[in-house]
């Protein structure tokens, strides 16, 4: 097992549902010790979310299980003086505090930036919200679908007949979590140089617009707004989803030599020098005619046959899979992307969770423990606090 890059980093995680827990899950996979601070009685809202009612009732809903493996759970009531004192001790020993309350809520609870800085000058605190901690929309509630709509993402998803459409998974939540994990990692590295912590303010709206890349920058640079194109790629042709004998096939022949190879392999060499298709811009203008010709040829064989043949010839091509099909790909098994863990309820069932897609020195970084039951580590609270404080004193002594 490789040494994990964030080994020794302690994260106090006050988040729930997705964006925040997804962030801390990635920090955990990279080696951080993550302690979830949960509300008495119900804990993380995701504990009751998912397609299995029995798991939801037991407080280990599928939505919770997906991104909380390897973490510890403590229940603290921040209205209770004793629990507030314990929380402050944890803050003193933490490297990172992560929260996704609405803007200003943590400050109203008595833990604004100034107070957190008093408790721990080296703390990296990170707030994930829909719109950020400032601005006219900062106090507005936001979930993933709200951000998808406001960002323009939905307006370019689907076809001209079906848009606007929601992307089929909570992509803005995931992007917010990844953006926060990147910022936290950078702030921790900066602290090594300066000795000072940082206050990070992550806006899901802004992270999502940033991730939309060309769709936004093309408008900013050229003044041309993107339009929904379904499964087609606006920057090239042929590039999109095509028909085969048994299902969809994605092809991205974005380079001239790839287009020529595709035509030869598909038995359509006459298209190579056809003036309608001879160069990129012409192919884009005549996309419909080109797609019609390719679909007719590709229907002669299965998607897997074309994937194998075209990939071997250097043309990017792959089947369009369902999620159940995708998770069975041999490629994922080869790289150890999934990890099997016991269910936290002691039922003996096997829980499969995903990794982060990163190998360190050739090895994956699997979670090493299942997601926690609510307050599973409550009995360890005092020992945990003592260990974190001792580590903090040792770190401060080395720095001085």
Model's pTM, two decimal places? 0.94
Quote the pLDDT of residue 391. 81
| 140 Cβ neighbours under 8 A, 6+ residues apart | 130, 131
Q: What is the pLDDT of residues 361-395, one digit of tens each?
A: 999 999 999 999 999 999 999 999 999 988 877 77
Q: What is the pLDDT of residue 327?
A: 97
DSSP-derived secondary structure letter, 360: B
Q: Using alpha carbons, select from 231, 197, 219 the residue that is nearest to residue 96.
A: 197
> Of 371, 305, 377, which is closest to residue 344 (Cα–Cα)?
371
Which residues are part of the catalytic machinery? 173
The alpha carbon of 40 is separated from its chain's Cα centroid by a whole number of angstroms, namely 28
Widest CA span in the chain = 80
Three-class DSSP category at 226: coil
Q: How far is the CA of 136 from the CAs of 21, 23, 44, 103, in angstroms?
A: 26, 26, 28, 11
The strand order across the sheet containing 72-75 reads 72-75, 33-38, 10-13, 96-99, 124-129, 198-203
- pLDDT at position 320 is 98
Q: At residue 399, does pLDDT exceed 90?
A: no
How long, in residues, is the chain?
400
Examine the pLDDT at 398 and tell me if it is beyond 80: no
Q: What's the per-residue H, E or C state across 283-335?
A: HHHCHHHHHHHHHHHHCCCCHHHHHHHHHHCCCCEEECCCHHHHCCCHHHHHC
CB atoms within 10 A of CB 113: 16
Which residues contact residue 144 at a Cβ distance below 8 angstroms, ignoring those fewer than 6 apart?
18, 170, 171, 172, 173, 204
pLDDT tens-place string over residues 117-128: 999 999 999 999
Sign of CA dihedral 51, 54, 60, 65: negative
User: What pLDDT does 286 receive?
Assistant: 97
The whole-chain average pLDDT of the chain stands at: 95
> Which is higher by pLDDT, 223 or 345?
223
Q: Is the pLDDT at 281 greater than 70, yes or no?
A: yes
pLDDT of residue 400: 62
What CATH number was assigned to the domain covering residues 10-212+331-399? 3.40.50.10540
Structure tokens at 329: 């790909």
Q: Does domain 239-320 have CATH number 3.40.50.10320?
A: no
From residue 191, alpha-carbon distances to 59, 70, 96, 118, 198 in Å are 37, 25, 11, 17, 8
Phi and psi at 112, nearest 5°, equal -75, 180
pLDDT tens-digit map of 240-277: 999 999 999 999 999 999 999 999 999 999 999 999 99
What are the tens digits of pLDDT across the range 322-353?
Answer: 999 999 999 999 999 999 999 998 888 999 99
Tokens representing 268 are 């359509």
Reported as a pLDDT band with limits 50, 70 and 90, residue 94 is very high
Average pLDDT over residues 194-198: 93
Q: How much is the CA Rg of the chain, to the nearest whole Å?
A: 25
Task: State the angle between helix axes of 256-265 and 303-312 in degrees (0 to 180), rounded to the nearest 10.
Answer: 130
Contact 43, 374 (CB under 8 A): yes
**Centroid of chain to Cα 158:** 22
- For residues 253 and 265, the answer to whether their CB atoms sit within 8 Å is no
Question: What phi and psi, each to the nearest 5 degrees, are found at residue 253?
Answer: -90, 70
Domain residue ranges in the chain: 10-212+331-399, 239-320
Question: Which sign does the torsion angle of CA 246, 354, 213, 154 carry?
Answer: positive
Contact 144, 171 (CB under 8 A): yes
DSSP tally for the chain: helices H, then strands E: 17, 11
Task: Say whether pLDDT at 296 is over 70.
Answer: yes
User: Model confidence over 2-52: pLDDT tens digits?
Assistant: 789 999 999 999 999 999 999 999 999 999 999 999 999 999 999 999 999
Predicted pLDDT at 394 = 75
146-171 pLDDT, tens digit per residue, is 999 999 999 999 999 999 999 999 99
pLDDT digits (tens, 9 = 90+) for 308-317: 999 999 999 9
| Residue 216 in tokens | 């936004």
């Amino acid at each position: 097992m490789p040494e994990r890059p964030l080994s020794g980093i302690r994260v106090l995680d006050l988040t729930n549902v997705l964006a925040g827990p997804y962030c801390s899950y990635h920090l955990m996979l990279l080696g951080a010790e993550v302690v979830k601070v949960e509300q008495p009685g119900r804990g993380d809202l995701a504990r009751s979310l998912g397609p299995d009612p029995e798991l939801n009732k037991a407080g280990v809903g599928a939505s919770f299980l997906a991104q909380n493996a390897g973490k510890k759970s403590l229940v603290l009531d921040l209205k209770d003086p004793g629990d507030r004192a314990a929380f402050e001790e944890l803050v003193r020993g933490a490297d990172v505090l992560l929260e996704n309350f609405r803007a200003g809520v943590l400050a109203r609870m008595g833990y604004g930036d100034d107070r957190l800085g008093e408790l721990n000058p080296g703390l990296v605190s990170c707030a994930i919200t829909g719109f950020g901690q400032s601005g006219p929309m900062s106090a507005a509630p936001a979930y993933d679908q709200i951000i998808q709509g406001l960002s323009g993402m939905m307006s370019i998803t689907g076809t001209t007949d079906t848009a606007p459409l929601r992307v089929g998974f909570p992509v803005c939540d995931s992007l917010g979590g990844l953006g926060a994990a990147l910022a936290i990692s950078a702030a921790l590295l900066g602290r090594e140089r300066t000795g000072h912590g940082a206050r990070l303010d992550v806006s899901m709206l802004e992270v999502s617009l940033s991730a939309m890349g060309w769709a936004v920058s093309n408008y900013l640079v050229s003044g041309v707004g993107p339009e929904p194109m379904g499964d087609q790629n606006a920057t090239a042709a042929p590039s999109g989803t095509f028909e085969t004998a048994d299902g969809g096939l994605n092809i991205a022949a974005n380079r001239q030599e790839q287009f020529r190879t595709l035509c030869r392999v598909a038995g359509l060499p006459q298209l190579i020098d056809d003036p309608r298709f001879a160069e990129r811009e012409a192919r884009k203008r005549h996309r419909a005619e080109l797609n019609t010709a390719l679909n007719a040829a590709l229907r002669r064989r299965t998607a897997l046959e074309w994937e194998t043949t075209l990939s071997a010839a250097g043309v990017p091509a792959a089947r369009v899979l369902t999620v159940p099909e995708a998770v069975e790909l041999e490629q994922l098994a080869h790289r150890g992307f999934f990890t099997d863990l016991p269910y936290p309820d002691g039922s003996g069932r096997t829980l499969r969770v995903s990794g982060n897609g990163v190998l360190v020195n050739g090895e994956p970084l699997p979670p090493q423990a299942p997601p926690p039951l609510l307050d599973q580590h409550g009995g360890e609270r005092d020992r945990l606090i003592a260990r974190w404080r001792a580590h903090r004193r040792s770190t401060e002594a080395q720095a001085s």
